[in-house]
Structure 1
Amino acid sequence: MSGLDDVIAAETTLSEVDGLNGRLVICGYTLEELAGHKSWEDVLGLLGGDLLPAVTLKSKLGMARLRAFAVVAWIDDGILALSITEGLRALMARLPDGEDAATALLLAAAPAVFVPALVRRKAGKAAIAPNPEFGHAADMLAMLTGTVPSDEAAAALNAYLVTVSDHGLNASTFAARVVASTRAGYTSAVLAALGALKGPLHGGAPGPVLDMLDAVGRPGNAEAWLSAELARGERLMGFGHRIYRVRDPRADALKAALARLGAAGGMDAERLALAEAVEREALKLLKAKKPDRALETNVEFFTALVLEALGFPREAFTGVFAAGRVGGWLAHAHEQVEKGRLIRPQSRYVGSKAA
C-alpha cells in the first residue's frame, strides 16, 4: 500500500515541510526564526489566526489552564492504571466539544496540565494547580516538579513545544482534519489525533532513544554496540525520517536548545557526551552500511535528551509531544472547517470478483 505518499490531500497556510532541503516553515516563518526566539503562545497565535488571536493569548491561556485543572479531579484508579498517553486521552474526552474559540483555548491549554498531573499522581504525589501568571512552558514544568523552573529549563521546554507545534499533514494532523471535516467538533478532532499519536510509528519513538543510550553506556562502546544492532537488522532509534532526505531541521533546533540548557537547566554533561558519541558513530555507520538511503538525525534523538533533562519520565514523552502539537491540530481542524469539505477519498477494490 502506498501510504498516500505524494498525494495532496489539503491546501494549507499553516506549515510547509520541505524534505529535500531540510526546511520547515510555520505560518511564513522558518523554524530557525521561531525556535529559541518565540514563545509557544506566540506560535499558537500564528497558527490559530482568527480562532486564537495572539492579543492577550498568554493571559487567556493561563486562565484556561486553571479551568482544565478542574478535570484533574476525575483522575481515579482506572485512569491511573492506563498509560500516560491513554490517561491524557481519557481526560481530554471530559472536555466539552464544539467549534468555538473557548473550546479551542481549553483544548490548547489542557495537555500541559493533564500530563504533569498524571505523572505526579502515578508517582503517588498530589497534582499541582497551574499558575496563570507563568508562561505556558514554565507552568508545565512547575506543575511537574513543584518548584519554579530556571529560565534555562523553561526556555528549553518552550523551544521543544515550538519545534513540534506543527509539521505538515502528518498522521495525527490528518486524523484531526478528517474528523473536523465531519463537523464533529474540535475535541473530537483532537481525540482522533491523540489516538494516532499513540502509535509507535508516530509519537512513540523518543523513549527508545534513551533505552539505546542506556544500553551503550559510555562513549567508547558506541561503535561496537551500534554495529552489532545494524548487523542484526535493527533500526537505530532517532535516525531517518519518512519525509526528510537531509537532516531534520527540528533536530538542530533541539540540539541548540540543549546547548542553551546546560547544567543550570538540568543537562548532565556525561549524558550529553554519550549522546554526541552515539550520534557521531551512528551517522558514520549508517552512511557506510546504507549509502543509498538518507538516514540523518531526526527530531526524536534530541527530544529524548531535552525531555529527560527537564525531568519528564519516558512514558510521558508522547504526552509532552501532544502538549506542543495540539496547537497544530487545532489550527488544521479550524482550517478544515472554514475552507475544506468532507474528506472522502476513494479506494480501489482488489478482492475477488462476485459471481
Structure 2
Amino acid sequence: MSDGLEDVVAAHTVMSDVDGAAGRLIIRGRSLDDLAGRATFEEVTRLLWDGFFDHLPADLAGPLAAARAEVFAEVSAMDTGILALSPIEAMRALTARLSDGDDLATALRLLAAPAVFTAAVVRGQAGEAPIAPDTSLGHAADILRMLGKAPNQAESEALDTYLVTVSDHGLNASTFAARVVASTRAGLGSAVLAGISALKGPLHGGAPGPIIDMLDGIGGAENARPWIEAALARGDRLMGFGHRVYRVRDPRADALKGAIRRMGTRAGRLEFAEAVERAVLEILKAHKPDRSLDTNVEFYTALLLEALAFPPSAFTCVFAMGRTAGWIAHAREQLAGGRLIRPQSVYVGPTPRAAA
C-alpha cells in the first residue's frame, strides 16, 4: 500500500466521479460540461444535497440568501486579533462560531459562511467596513457586491461558474477529512471546519495564489521560457500544472478559461497566461517525458479570481465557498450509511527488547 492511499477505496458515493484517464468530471450524474456556465451554484448545491435533507426546497436561492443575512450577524466578532490572521484562518475562526447541527438550516448557514466572512475579512484588512448581504441577489453576485464591487452580469456568471466547477471533486483530501469527522457524528460544522483546515494546505487548495506570483515574475511572454527553465533548474515546482488524479488536461481548466473569456475585459492577461501555459507544457514535456503534467484547475482559477478583484491571499477562501457544498453533501452521505472511519495502520517502529 502506498503512503498516499492510491487505489484504496474508502467510500461508495453518488456525489462525483473523477475519470483521470479521460479527463472527465461527473457530478450527481451530470458532466461538468453540462453544468459549468449553465447551472447556477444554488442549483448544483441542490443537486448535490438531493436526498440527504428532509424537505429540501426546489429552489435554494432564497434560503441561501436568508442564511447569508443570518451569518452576517457574526461579523461583529471580527476584532483586530481575527484581522491579524490570514484570510483563510480568519474565515475559519468566524465559521467556528456557528452551530454544529446536522439539519438543513445549519447546512445553509455553513454554506453561506465562507462567502460572508471572506468578503468581510478582505474589506476589514483593507481598513473598510463590511457590507451586509443583499438577499435579492444570487449567491455569486452578492459575494462580489459584499466585496465592494458593482458586478456586471458577466462577472457574476464567471464567479458562479467557478463555484460550480469546484463544488465537488471525488474523495480529495478536504472531502475525506470532512467525511472522517462526519463519521464521528461531530456535526456538520465540525466536518466543514475539517474541510477548511485541509484545504488550507499548499498541496491542496492553497496553490492558486503563487500562480499570480509566477505570472508577475515572468512579466511578459518573451520571458516565459528562460524564467521557466531557470525555475526548473532550481528544482522549483510550477504551480498550476500536474494533478494527483488527472493524467490528461483537467476539464475544470477549460471551464474556467471559457468563463474568463466571456468576461471580455482581460483579453491581454489571458493571452499572456495562454502563452505561459504553452511554454510550460512544452518545457515539461521535454524535461519530464515520463510524467503526465498538464494544466490543472488552479492555473485558470488564479486568472479568474484576479480578474474579479479577490486578493491572492483570499483565493483559497473562494475555493471553500464552492467546495463547502460538496463537503456538506459528503458529510450527510456518510451519516446516512457509513460507519465510523477507522483504517488500520502497520507498525514499523522498534520492538521492545526481551528481558534478559
After superposition, the C-alpha distances for 1:74-118 in whole angstroms (9 at most, x for unaligned) are: 100110010000001100000011111111111111111111110
- 1:24 alignment partner in structure 2: 25
The question of whether the paired residues in 2 share the 8 Å contact of 1:116 and 1:144 is answered with yes
Q: Tell me whether 1:145 sits opposite 2:160 in the alignment.
A: no
**SS of aligned partner of 2:26:** strand
- Shift of the alpha carbon at 1:281? 0.5
Distance in 2 of aligned mates of 1:261 and 1:331: 31
Q: Distance in 2 between matches of 1:191 and 1:286?
A: 36
String of CA shifts for 1:234-255, please: whole Å, max 9, x gaps: 1111100010000000101101
User: Structure 1 residues 328-337 or 105-114, which shifts more?
Assistant: 105-114
Deviation of 1:288 (Å): 1.1
Q: Alignment partner for residue 63 of structure 1, among 61, 66, 73?
A: 66
What's the offset of the Cα at 1:50?
A: 3.2
Written as runs of structure 1 = structure 2, the 5 A alignment for 1:147-226 is 147=150, 149-226=151-228
Cα contact 1:44–1:54 (8 A) shared by 2:
no
The alpha-carbon deviation at position 2 of structure 1 amounts to 1.8
Show the counterpart of 1:14.
15
SS in 1 for 2:194: helix
Superposition misfits of 4+ residues, deviation over 2 angstroms? 50-54
Helix, strand or coil: the match of 2:331? helix
1:270 positional shift: 2.4
Equivalent residues of 2:43, 2:59 under 8 A apart: no
* In structure 1, distance between residues paired with 2:299 and 2:249: 12
Instruction: Provide the rounded CA distance (Å) in 2 between the counterparts of 1:35 and 1:349.
Output: 45
Tell me, what secondary structure is at the counterpart of 1:279?
A: helix
Residues 52 and 333, structure 2, Cα contact 8 Å, conserved in 1 = no
Which whole-Å CA distance do the structure 1 matches of 2:105 and 2:332 have between them? 13
- SS of residue in 2 equivalent to 1:17: strand
For 1:50, the aligned partner's letter is G
**Does residue 314 of the first structure (1) align with residue 316 of the second (2)?**
no
Q: Is the aligned partner of 1:88 residue 2:86?
A: no
Give the SS at the match of 1:349. Answer: coil
- Residue deviations 1:147-169, cap 9 Å, x none? 3x100000000000000000000
Aligned-partner Cα distance in 2 for 1:192–1:39: 26
Please give the TM-score of this superposition, normalised by the length of structure 1.
0.97
Which residue type is aligned with residue 335 of structure 2?
A: V
- The answer for the alignment partner of 1:285 in structure 2 is 283
Number of aligned pairs? 350
Report the CA distance shift for 1:72/1:51 in structure 2 as closer, same or farther (over 3 A): farther
Q: What is the alpha-carbon root mean square deviation over aligned residues? A: 0.9
Q: CA deviation at 1:56?
A: 2.9
Query: Partners in 1 of 2:294 and 2:204 — Cα distance?
Result: 17
> 1:78: which partner in 2?
81
| 8 Å CA contact 1:51, 1:100 repeated in 2 | no
How far 1:353 moved relative to its partner? Answer: 1.2
Give 2:269's match in structure 1, choosing from 256, 268, 271.
271
How far apart are the structure 1 equivalents of 2:40 and 2:228? 37
Gaps of 5+ in 1: none
Unaligned ranges ≥5, structure 2 = none
1:300 partnered with 2:283: no
Shift of 1:37: 0.3
1:30-45 residue pairs with structure 2 within 5 A? 30-45=31-46
Are 1:190 and 1:330, in contact at CA under 8 Å, matched by a contact in 2?
yes
TM-score, L = length of structure 2: 0.97
What fraction of aligned residue pairs are identical, expressed as a percent? 62
